[in-house]
Amino acid sequence: MELDFGPAVRDFRDEVRDWLADHLVGEFAEHRGVGGPTDGAAWEVRLAWDRELSAGGWLGVGWPEEYGGRGLGLLEEIVFEYEYARVNAPYRATVNALDLLGPMLLAMGSEAQKKRFLPQILAVEELWGQGFSEPGAGSDLASVRTRAERDGDEWVVSGQKVWTSFGIHADWLYVLTRTDPQSARHKGLSLLLVPTDQPGVEIRPIRNLAGQDEFAEVFLSDARTGADMVVGEVGQGWRTAMATLGIERGTTLLPQQLTFEREAEALIDLARERGALDDPMLRRRIVDAWISVRIMRTTNLRTIAELTAGRTPGAQATTAKLYASTRHQQLGQLATELAGPAGQIVGEDYGLDTRQRSFLLSLAETIYGGSSEIQRNIIGEQVLGLPKEPRP
Amino acid sequence: MDLTFTEEQDELRKVVRSFLAKHSDEANVRRLAADPQGHDPVVWGRMAGELGLQGLAVPEEYGGSGFGHVDLGIVFEETGRALLGGPYFATVALAAEALLRCADEQARHGLLPGIASGETVATLALTEDSGRWDEQGVRLTAAHDETGGWRLTGVKTYVPDGHLADLLLVAARTPGGVSLLAVETSDAPGLTRTPLPALDQTRKQARLEFTDTPARLLGPEGAAWPALERTLATAAVLLSAEQVGGAAAALDAAVAYAKIREQYGRPIGSFQGIKHKCADMLMEIESARSAAYGGLWALDAGDETEIAMAAALAQAVCSEAFTKVAADNIQVHGGIGFTWEHPAHLYFKRAKSSEVLLGTPSYHRELLATRLGI
């Protein structure tokens, strides 16, 4: 099924296709499909690819031109993401700034912040890390303890952050801090932009279960940043942070879903090679894997169609993450099983092939961006209107 | 790309839902369930006269309104939500579609206007004692008689609303293969119809015995199977929409109860055990919705390969989703959900019988596997 968005964007689509065909070559082409939200493989190549995209004007397709974007609409963003995923281009190294921080600054940042940071993001000059989670505050962001105090023209920040994706590469962090020490829960939080190149910031890599140093813990000891580096209002950091988390829309699920589709096709090929299609039990699981990716696709298309029609997306936009993350794990389990004993052998220095890496990293998908348990709470409380859990 | 509904379609849903809230509320559902006929001709007439539901997707040249299957799917989602009793599925999803697919322009002109106007209750008689929905399952025979007409001999069973249909479209084996024949029951010697008491009382079934019963051949002899297969695919998608509606109603009931029923001093819906179950029910429903809507859009887009795949996928997914959600609704309700008085079992039984109505989920997975080439 080919997506057709009508004649209005067909020229744009052709432009994207042509550019990708001309530029996704050589080393970039060799790294097709490499990387993911928690997979920092081939970092330097991917960074170079991001710079190639930037030079071609493909970063910030929907961002205003005054900040270096293309000033196009949601439909063009979707078309770009779809074509990008279709050719399986490398996962963008700067996705954190492009998909989360950038849209947050556009929505809630000051004019000075937008002018200062957005063009740098699009030029791939500055890399960003997110400082929301803490050792004591994973899903429960309201219990953030990292504190920030005003000292003249500066904020002084102390505390510890964790699970910062690609943190070791970050030039800047956007950090949720408690600016009112007397405050409880989500009141009295502020969102600060903090440079990492200073003595008060220490970033240590954390090795993930796939053997990669893809996230980090961040230690802030009297780290400093300017008074004007608060995004939104002081004390309103909870609202700002929630808006960031709400920004992930159907567009970000598109590339993921196309990756799953490729994996499902590879799984069917593998099953055929290994003669597993005659086994009725395996056959059923293989069909179910195919069904899952097909459902993901239609669900995403529903959300995209609603967004582009100016409608509020239905409940499927909220349940999609839970579905995709759990089904992707099942797909990985099955693929690994079908690969048999050979699929259990890794390369030198715990070198993983694409299937092994995708399977192991899929274990993170039911945790990051709100664990499945948190997703079920959100669905129960915000979509179905069930009473909240009692909270102290 | 129009994978979302228009304002007109939202309006259609609203009108149908409000009509059914009045005419297919729990009291009426139970009344029809207890009635061996299970059919309310007054409501049937109003569905046709006021809302045009029987002819919604019948082309205008045959007396209908010429809307698409996305529109018709909206109606089925609502009839499923309301557990509408009576022959709507049999008449519209099975019989009208079979007529539209058969290569017999004269029959279409002759028979469809009666369906669209609500005068004719019709059904498709396909399954036999084997319960099979494939070509090999068709054993009942039709033979030429001395006048050049056709006569049916054999048994059809599990025929939805076969006990009251005015028009039977019968799949029969003729020397050339599988053919489709029409029998008008008002004038059908040698036809015995026996209602079958069913687990799901909200959708009636019958056993039909034909002994040298005169019938009219529709389209060329022996060439009906592809049209019947396509009819089954269409009906599978419409049944999926009905299942989504039923599942949504079951979830609504579970959520409403979880908000008011208290244990240990607070509503049970505040406990994760219940809250997470309800969230999973919604996830099942939204996935099923994608499967059903994908099928409806495929029907209106008209790509035959895509229709066959989308229909099998929709039946596999929506059947299981409805059964699971309807069972979970009983669980959320606890003891009260296990009583005859509570409507939860009506949805569960409809779910289970719908699951096998057009072939089991395993059967549809196998169809899908075959079509995928695996």
What integer pLDDT is reported at residue A379 of this predicted model?
95
- CA closest to A279 among chain B residues: B374
Cβ A319–B286 below 8 Å, yes or no? yes
Do the chains contact at A385 and B369, CB–CB below 8 Å?
no
Of B2, B270, B294, the CB nearest to A386: B270
Residue range A314-336: mean pLDDT, rounded: 95
Backbone angles phi, psi at B153, to 5 degrees: -140, 125
Q: Does the pLDDT value for residue B2 go beyond 70?
A: no
Q: Residues B3-9: what's their mean pLDDT?
A: 91
Average pLDDT, chain B: 97
8 A C-beta contact, residue A173 and residue A193 = yes
* pLDDT for B355: 97
Note the pTM of the prediction, 2 decimals: 0.94
Residue of A nearest to B259 (CA): A386
| Closest chain A C-alpha to B291 CA, distance in angstroms | 6
pLDDT value for A1: 43
Extract long-range pairs of B14-23: CB within 8 Å, 24+ residues apart. B15/B51, B16/B51, B16/B53, B16/B74, B16/B75, B16/B78, B16/B79, B17/B78, B17/B81, B17/B82, B19/B46, B19/B47, B19/B50, B19/B51, B20/B78, B20/B79, B20/B81, B20/B82, B20/B84, B21/B82
Contact A299 B287 (CB under 8 A): yes
pLDDT at A272: 94
Per-residue pLDDT reduced to its tens digit, B287-314: 999 999 999 999 999 999 999 999 999 9
For chain A positions 211-270, those within 8 Å of chain B (CB to CB) are 268
Q: Which of residues 208-267 of B touch A (CB under 8 A)?
A: 251, 255, 258-259, 266-267
Minimum distance, in Å, between the CA of residue A265 and any CA atom of chain B = 11
What pLDDT score does A245 carry? 65
A150 CB near a chain B CB, below 8 Å?
Answer: no
- The verdict on a CB contact (< 8 Å) between B258 and A390 is no
Give the tokens for residue B193.
């119809």
Side chain identity at residue A75, one-letter code:
L
Q: Please give the interface size between A and B, counted as residue pairs whose CB atoms are below 8 Å apart.
A: 128
Judged by a CB distance cut-off of 8 A, whether residue A392 touches chain B is: no
Asked if A290 lies within 8 A of B317 by C-beta distance, the reply is no
In the predicted model, is pLDDT for residue A5 greater than 80?
no
How distant is the Cα of B252 from the closest Cα of chain A, in angstroms? 9
Strand partners, A226: A154
Question: Is some CB atom of chain B closer than 8 A to the CB atom of A280?
Answer: no
A87 touches chain B (CB under 8 A): no
Please answer yes or no on whether B279 and A375 come within 8 Å at the CB atom.
Answer: yes
pLDDT band at residue B323, thresholds of 50, 70 and 90? very high
pLDDT per residue over A133-161, tens digit each? Answer: 999 887 777 889 999 999 999 999 999 99
> Considering only alpha carbons, which residue of chain A is nearest residue B269?
A386
Looking at residue A251, its pLDDT comes to 62
Chain A within 8 Å of B168 (Cβ-Cβ)?
Answer: no
Least-confidence region, from A323-327, A350-354, B153-157: A350-354
Determine which of A249-258, A301-310, B66-75, B325-334 has the lowest per-residue pLDDT on average.
A249-258
Nearest residue of B to residue A297, measured between CA atoms: B290
For A271-308, write each residue's pLDDT tens digit.
Answer: 999 999 999 999 999 999 999 999 999 998 898 888 88
Of all residues in chain B, what percent carry a pLDDT higher than 90? 97
**B272 lies within 8 A of chain A by CB:** yes
pLDDT of residue A248 exceeding 60, the answer is no
- Which of A37-46, A96-105, B86-95, B239-248 is predicted least confidently? A37-46
> Any catalytic annotation for residue A248?
yes
| Top-confidence range, A4-8, A35-39, B235-239 | B235-239
Structure tokens given for A4: 């057709």
Asked if B287 lies within 8 A of A315 by C-beta distance, the reply is no
Closest CA to A287 of A275, A271, A301: A271
| Ordered DSSP codes for B304-337 | HHHHHHHHHHHHHHHHHHHHHHHHHHHHHHGGGG
ipTM surpasses 0.90: yes
pLDDT band at A246 (very low <50, low <70, confident <90, very high): low
Instruction: Say if A74 is an interface residue toward chain B (CB within 8 Å).
Output: no
Q: Which residues of B touch A321 (CB under 8 A)?
A: none
- Pick the residue with more confidence: A40 or B178? B178
Helices then strands (H, E): number in chain A? 13, 8
DSSP letter for each residue of A107-120: HH--HHHHHHHHHH
Write the pLDDT tens digit of every residue in B197-248. Answer: 999 999 999 999 999 999 999 999 999 999 999 999 999 999 999 999 999 9
Per-residue pLDDT band for B1 (boundaries 50, 70, 90) equals very low
Q: Do B369 and A283 touch (CB under 8 A)?
A: yes
Percent of chain B's residues with pLDDT above 70 = 99
Q: Does B275 touch chain A (CB under 8 A)?
A: yes
A377 at the B interface (CB within 8 A)?
yes
3-class state of residue A359 by DSSP: helix
B312-342 burial string, b = 16+ CB within 10 Å, else e?
A: bbbbbbbbbbbbbbbbbbbebbeeebeeeeb
Q: Do A377 and B275 touch (CB under 8 A)?
A: yes
Structure tokens at B89: 């599925």
Q: pLDDT confidence of B264, banded at 50, 70, 90?
A: very high
- Token duo for residue A358: 């995708």
Which residues 285-314 of B have a C-beta within 8 angstroms of A? 286-287, 289-291, 293-294, 306, 313
Query: Are the Cβ atoms of B272 and A304 closer than 8 angstroms?
Result: no
Cβ atoms within 10 A of the Cβ of B294, count?
28
The more confidently predicted of residues B3 and A129 is A129
Task: Give B-chain residues touching A388 at CB under 8 angstroms.
Answer: 270
Task: Tell me, yes or no, if A343 comes closer than 8 A to chain B by beta carbon.
Answer: no
Catalytic residue among A149, A202, A248, A306: A248
Residue in chain B nearest A382 by alpha carbon: B279
Q: pLDDT band for position B183 (50/70/90)?
A: very high
Say which range, A250-264, A335-349, B67-81, has the weakest mean pLDDT.
A250-264
Mean pLDDT on B97-114: 97
Q: Is B276 on the interface with A (CB under 8 A)?
A: yes
Provide the pLDDT for residue A184. 79
Nearest residue on chain A to B313, alpha-carbon basis: A291
**DSSP H or E segment with residue A289:** helix A280-308
Retrieve residue B314's tokens.
């929709």
The SS3 of residue B258 is helix
